[in-house]
Amino acid sequence: MADAHETDKNIEVWKIKKLIKALEAARGNGTSMISLIMPPRDQVSRVTKMLGDEFGTASNIKSRVNRQSVLGAITSAQQRLKLYNKVPPNGLVLYTGTIVTEDGKEKKVTIDFEPFRPINASLYLCDNKFHTEALNELLESDDKFGFIIMDGNGTLFGTLSGNTREVLHKFSVDLPKKHGRGGQSALRFARLRMEKRHNYVRKCAELATQFYINPTTSQPNVSGLILAGSADFKTELSQSDMFDPRLQAKILNVVDVSYGGENGFNQAIELSSEILSNVKFIQEKRLIGKYFEEISQDTGKYVFGVDDTLKALEMGSVETLIVWENLDMNRYVLKNGTTGEIVIQHFNKEQEADQSNFRDPVSSSDYEEMEDKIPAPLCEVVAHAATAAVAAPPPSRISQTIRGISVVAPLLSACAQKGENKLVLPKEKQSGMNGAPLLSACAQKGKIKIVLPKEIQSGINEVPLHNIDEVAAKYFVILP
């Protein structure tokens, strides 16, 4: 189960992705949109002076409309910087300017925030769009991987994080070679040779624990471990009882390299690139696999759907929460204008556009939004409410699967309601193609059974597994 820090990090990454999507879609007239990025240890006074100089330059723009827009954006940036005495530890990102909305109206926006990790870029641009390249770089994996390059001449300990590799420690060793001296000394020479090899492996195991185990948490400080070398020492280390079992569980690959030292380090990185790129995918696959295992075994320790998930969260019965990253749904706290009753609703974009959803279905009274309760993204609400949360990337089969069964899917320690070995969706959450309700779906051996209401049945009730992707594209249903 992910710790609180990992959960917060996932939420921050999700927020940045959503922000980038909105910023990239924004467009303005002329060059009235400012992108400003200040790295850590930069000076607010320096940027303030630079903006003052830019204000003077922008005053000479011939187009009156464009000149006013640019000057307004620079003024907004100057006013927002007055809120900061110094640049935050992770840097400062500021976007401001006049954008054109979908209905053709102009709207002033100003967004400023401290990134969730240090941003090393320095940027100032006036354009008809916001520049988010530096933010995209923040989203690149910052997982740290450990490397042990071990051969008969010595060992190197290193780490790789993103595009940065670091050598933590390296040492040389002088091991006796095999020789043909015989007689009574042959066994003694062999015993001494094996003893020195044993001591060498033990030293490497001890140093691995020193470099790759966090003494504060007693947990590995790397996401994975790669063992490499030109002899069989790497295999001997991985199978040794002296090697910390916490690190053994982190071994991703054991590779053969032609060199030792730093050249071997570089070669090991190259040979392991595919495995390292798939680490996140493998973790997500295992997570979804656990969810499907609960479903196939009919343990009752699972539930899906917004309402049922929120009820389970309120009960405190959620152990692991899986949230689809592209969950485009907001949580509204509404008040009945007539009775004063407080109502909590969850709407997607289409439902938000339908004003009937903001009226009481019984009395037709209008719902009012609570002034102190602005609409909040449901993904953020449920993630903060759970002890663990993982957001899956949308292009993957995993997120397609999550969308297939529902939008949020927790593993529970309490039973969910089921009916006769079928996963039955409550009426209010039935959904399908063109608004046609999907009543229920259940897993069977070798096939997927899809039960549709009579009015939309077209002779397709049971679908072979090899056609499941076509069905998924049509009905958004995937089950193992």
Instruction: Look up the domain containing 408 and give its range.
Output: 284-417
Give the span between the Cα atoms of 411 and 426, in whole angstroms. Answer: 19
CATH code for position 356: 3.30.1330.30
Show which of 79, 106, 138 is a domain's final residue: 138
364: left (phi over 0), alpha (psi -120 to 50) or beta: left
CATH code for position 252: 3.30.420.60
Give the span between the Cα atoms of 144 and 222, in whole angstroms. Answer: 5
CATH code for position 79: 3.30.960.10
329 and 411 inside one domain: yes
Tokens of 470: 């076509």
Q: What is the pLDDT of residue 7?
A: 61
Q: What is the pLDDT of residue 184?
A: 64
Give the span between the Cα atoms of 349 and 329, in whole angstroms. Answer: 7
161 and 127 inside one domain: no
Q: What is the pLDDT of residue 379?
A: 63
Under 8 Å between Cβ of 392 and 322: yes
Centre a 10 Å sphere on the Cβ of residue 283 and count the other Cβ atoms it contains.
14
Residue labelled with tokens 């009395």: 363
Q: What is the pLDDT of residue 374?
A: 54
157 and 227 inside one domain: yes
310 and 403 inside one domain: yes
93 pairs with which residues across the strands?
A: 37, 113
128 and 149 inside one domain: no
- pLDDT tens by residue, 13-58: 777 888 888 888 888 887 889 999 999 989 999 999 999 999 998 8
Give the span between the Cα atoms of 302 and 291, in whole angstroms. Answer: 7
272 and 149 inside one domain: yes
Show which of 401, 417, 433 is a domain's final residue: 417
Give the span between the Cα atoms of 349 and 366, in whole angstroms. Answer: 19
Show which of 417, 448, 470 is a domain's final residue: 417
33 and 124 inside one domain: yes
User: What is the DSSP secondary-structure string of 405-447?
Assistant: H-SEEEEESSPPP-BTTBEEPPGGG---GGG----EEEEETTE
Give the span between the Cα atoms of 223 and 159, in whole angstroms. Answer: 10
**Nearest CA among 445, 442, 450, 418 for reference residue 301:** 418
Q: What is the pLDDT along the chain (480 residues), one digit of tens a residue?
A: 445 566 666 677 777 888 888 888 888 887 889 999 999 989 999 999 999 999 998 888 888 888 888 899 999 999 999 999 999 998 999 999 988 887 788 888 999 999 888 888 899 999 889 999 888 877 766 678 999 999 888 999 999 876 678 899 999 988 877 665 556 667 777 788 888 889 999 999 999 999 999 888 889 999 899 999 987 888 999 999 999 999 999 999 999 998 888 899 989 988 888 888 766 666 666 777 787 788 778 787 887 777 777 788 777 777 777 776 666 777 777 887 777 778 777 777 777 778 787 887 777 777 776 655 555 666 666 655 554 444 444 334 444 444 444 445 555 532 233 333 333 333 333 343 322 233 233 333 333 333 333 333 343 333 333 333 343 333 333 333
- pLDDT tens by residue, 165-177: 889 999 998 887 7
DSSP 81: H
149 and 265 inside one domain: yes
Give the span between the Cα atoms of 408 and 329, in whole angstroms. Answer: 11
110 and 53 inside one domain: yes
Give the span between the Cα atoms of 224 and 240, in whole angstroms. Answer: 18
195 and 306 inside one domain: no
Q: How many domains does the chain have?
A: 4
Q: What is the pLDDT of residue 92?
A: 93
271 and 148 inside one domain: yes
458 and 404 inside one domain: no
